[in-house]
Structure 1
Amino acid sequence: MKYLYSTSCSKSRLREIRAFTEGVLRKHDMDELEISTIVLAVDEVCANLIIHGHECDDSDELQLEIDIHSDKVIFDIIDRSEMFNINKYKAPQLEDIIKMQRKGGLGLILVKKIMDEIKIFPKGEFYVCQLTKKIA
């Protein structure tokens, strides 16, 4: 079953993205902890795209497509701007982040740990960040 959500690239829309994602997952009787971690990962990717890819320009738009299968959930985050390839991201050591007292930098680490597969690819005039999570 597929669900589609379109929104402007405003940080204020992140709450709605989280609510939409959570609502879809709840319809499919998923575990609470699994729902929370998946919502966190989707939110992080959308936040990075809205903040860094669009500089919070609410005249820009992105789409979130959620495709529920019996054994996995696929999230396609679809956008016109070229996306940062999270697969090429080399995570710093947690100790280094703590020593440098960095704010941020943990989101992409979490996304890579939560999701089972991450793909970035062009699709016509758009780019897609596809996150896949296996489910029981």
Structure 2
Amino acid sequence: MKMNEMKEKITVTSNLEDLYLVRCFIGNAACRAGFGESETWKIILAVDEACSNVIRHAYNGKTDRNFEITVEFDDNRFVVHIDDAGSGYDLRNHRAPNLQDCIAKRKAGGLGIRIIKELVDEIDYQQVDNRNKLTLTKHLPLEAANA
């Protein structure tokens, strides 16, 4: 086992008001993993967007469902697993809307997946036993990995 290896899990209700729990959980774990403030906020934003999509789209806004978030990290990478039982959507194949079109049309929303893709290094999605398993990976900065 590596010196900085860690794994933690939290179960959250499908209520947008509970996303603050997710942000705290992810932020604390990212700091312990060795990320600085800027990178920590990027990870928090990516996970917050992904969880918002679970609540709004996979669970269609139903607030009586649950989903799990597992964080694990070692000396090289920080991995967030989001596991839900809602309707699935493979965001790896999502075609991002044109940002200039969104601005010109003053269209709000629809940029969450684009944000997620820009803020993390790797994205994986699987549907296993009627559950959606989204994995977001961020590589630790070299200075943190060598500390």
TM over 0.5: yes
Q: Distance between the aligned counterparts of 2:136 and 2:67, measured in 1?
A: 15
Match of 2:51 in 1: 46
TM-score, normalization by structure 2: 0.87
Displaced runs of 4+ in structure 1, greater than 3 A? Answer: none
What is the aligned-residue RMSD (CA, Å)?
Answer: 1.2
CA contact (8 A) 1:83 1:129 kept: no
Shift of 1:125: 4.1
TM-score, normalization by structure 1: 0.94
State the SS of the aligned residue for 1:49.
helix
Match of 2:137 in 1: 132
Alignment of 1:77-96 (within 5 A): 77-96=82-101
Q: How many residues align?
A: 136
Q: Distance between the aligned counterparts of 1:125 and 1:101, measured in 2?
A: 37
Match of 2:28 in 1: 23
Alignment of 1:1-136 (within 5 A): 1-136=6-141
Shift of 1:30: 1.5
State the SS of the aligned residue for 1:44.
helix
Shift of 1:55: 2.5
Q: Distance between the aligned counterparts of 1:96 and 1:103, measured in 2?
A: 11
CA contact (8 A) 1:83 1:120 kept: no
Shift of 1:122: 2.2
Shift of 1:45: 0.3
**Which one has the largest radius of gyration?**
2
CA contact (8 A) 1:6 1:63 kept: yes
CA contact (8 A) 2:46 2:119 kept: yes
State the SS of the aligned residue for 1:5.
strand
Q: How many percent of aligned residue pairs carry the same amino acid? A: 26
Q: Deviations over 1:14-53 (max 9, x none)?
A: 1111111111112233210000000000000000111111
